[in-house]
Amino acid sequence: MRVTGTIDLLPSQMRLYNKICETFFAICKLYGYEEVATPILEDIRVFDRNLGLETDVVSKEMFFLEKKQDETLVLRPENTAGVMRLCQEGGLFQKLPQRLAYYGPMFRYERPQKGRYRQFHQFGVECIGVASYMADVENIQMAVHFMQEIGLAELTELEIHTLGSESERDAYKQALHDYLLPYKNELSENSVRRFDKNILRVLDSKNVHDQKILETAPVMRNFLQMESAKYFDNILESLENFGISYTVNPFLVRGLDYYNQTVFEIKTPALGAQSAVLGGGRYDGLAQQFGEKTPTPSIGWAAGMERLFLLAQEHQTLSVPPRKNIVIIAMTEAFDQEAQKYASLLRKEGIACLTVHEGTLRKRMKIASRLEAKYTIIFAPKEMENKTAILRDMMRSEERILPLADLIITVKKHYDT
């Protein structure tokens, strides 16, 4: 049985899935990002000291492996911390700036529902070593560009906020604490837990009564000093200049403690409660947790593949080209070797080719159709005596007889037309 919280993908679904992957890396290339890879297994210390001990990810969502001696291994729940570890151990902090991209599976022990899985895949980009607000703008622009290229721009909207500096955030946390304290007994169970451990996460509550209480809560913008306010205003003005629509959400927070200043999410109403399909922000202090002596300005985002796939599949936003296979049918066993020979020659020309050896001609033609054959080549006794073969155009339902000597060059000539 399939494990709860995981999904299978059929061959037809994998084509759409891979198209989204290809689009992501094409966008990365346009923006100068290079791909990196980190292990699925990480030491617990990569996350518990960097994501925040009281975040949901660390406190209740990580998959732990059996502890061996003094080493505790976990399945990675996200990859920004892993990429920062890679930078530190690979010497990339000494070669800034870095623009890095990744893709792979992540694991969180969550209650499965539509768009939320225990094994899920994320695309991510990290721009490390650029302090300018234009890095934030370009990062968001890249995310929006990605949504446009996979056809989801009309189904999603950008929300943005700022968490300010550490001192500004501390002042805001105190004000939020003072405001919520009289309502503490009225908050949902989850928000009460967050009130005591990570009060900013109360702002992220989906509980209707919690949201009613928060309507008149203090907002972070009122606690920004001039420098942070100007930084955020510059970003908003630039987004407008680039024609990127956004909504400032004063209650937008990210679920991990390393964020500061800019945070943003791209959301959709089409997935119910799991509305965020992409999220990110700035995390200037994270590199210090991995041994850097001074803050390293950094910003990035990650997108959930399964949610993007569900949206693209349900709304048919991304066209996937046909497979364009060539199918060779040998009508008798005597021609099997010849069929395999020509299949190998076509593959050497970069043309996808399959051979079908069993069943009646009618059955084999049905298989060729199911395999989305562009052309079917039939090696039949009469034609083979004359050193020819039947070439059938499956799209036009047309046939012609070709000399075997012309077969490869003819198929190659018309394969991409």
Q: Are residues 294 and 242 in the same domain?
A: yes
Distance between CA atoms of 204 and 250, rounded to whole angstroms? Answer: 10
Q: Cα separation of 68 and 216, whole Å? A: 50
Separation of alpha carbons 42 and 80, rounded Å? 12
Contacts of 359 (CB under 8 A, 6+ apart): 367
Please state, in angstroms and rounded to a whole number, the distance separating the CA atoms of residues 108 and 40.
12
Spatial separation of the C-alpha atoms in residues 374 and 312, rounded to whole Å = 26
Q: Tell me which residue range forms the domain holding 76.
A: 11-165+225-315
Q: Which residues are 157's β-sheet partners? A: 267
Q: What would the two tokens of residue 18 be? A: 């891979």
What local confidence, expressed as pLDDT, does residue 290 receive?
Answer: 87
Task: Please tell me whether residues 236 and 193 are part of one structural domain.
Answer: no
154 and 24 part of one domain? yes
Burial (CB < 10 A; 0-12, 13-18, 19+), residue 72, is middle
pLDDT tens-digit profile, the chain (417 residues): 888 888 899 988 999 999 999 999 999 999 999 999 999 999 888 887 655 545 555 556 788 887 777 788 899 999 999 999 999 999 999 999 999 999 999 998 877 666 678 899 999 999 999 999 999 999 999 999 999 999 999 999 999 999 999 899 999 999 999 999 999 989 998 898 888 888 888 988 888 999 999 999 999 999 999 999 999 999 999 999 999 999 999 989 876 678 889 999 999 988 776 688 999 999 998 998 888 888 899 999 999 999 999 999 999 988 888 788 899 999 988 899 999 999 999 999 999 999 988 888 899 999 999 988 999 999 999 999 999 999 999 988 999 999 999 999 999 888 876
Counted residue by residue, the chain has a size of 417
Does one domain contain both 89 and 235? yes
- Report the pLDDT value the prediction gives residue 100, as an integer from 0 to 100: 98
Q: How far apart are CA 67 and CA 64, in angstroms?
A: 8
Residues 229 and 98 placed together within one structural domain of the fold: yes
Q: Does 117 share its domain with 259?
A: yes
Say yes or no: 105 and 249 in one domain.
Answer: yes
Does any domain span residue 4? no
Structure confidence at residue 414 (pLDDT): 84
- Residue at 383 is within a domain: yes
Domain harbouring 154, CATH code: 3.30.930.10
131 shares a domain with 30: yes
> Measuring CA to CA, which residue among 310, 326, 328, 322 is closest to residue 380?
328
User: Which CATH number belongs to the domain containing residue 404 in this structure?
Assistant: 3.40.50.800
Domain count, the chain: 3
Helical pair 11-30 and 133-149, crossing angle rounded to 10 deg: 150
Q: Does residue 363 lie in a domain region?
A: yes
Same structural domain for residues 104 and 122? Answer: yes
Q: Which among 315, 341, 372 is the end of a domain?
A: 315
Q: Answer yes or no: is 286 within a domain.
A: yes
Same domain, yes or no: 241 and 204: no
Q: Which of 292, 315, 338 is the last residue of a domain?
A: 315
Residue 3 lies in a domain: no
Residue 2 within any structural domain of the chain? no
For residue 49, the model assigns a pLDDT of 66
User: Would residue 5 count as lying in a domain?
Assistant: no
Answer with the one of 315, 337, 360 that is the final residue of a domain.
315
Residues 145 and 188 in one domain: no
Q: Say how far apart CA 141 and CA 135 lie, in whole Å.
A: 10
Q: What is the pLDDT of residue 401?
A: 95
Residues 32 and 89 reside in one and the same domain: yes
- The answer as to whether 345 is a domain residue is yes
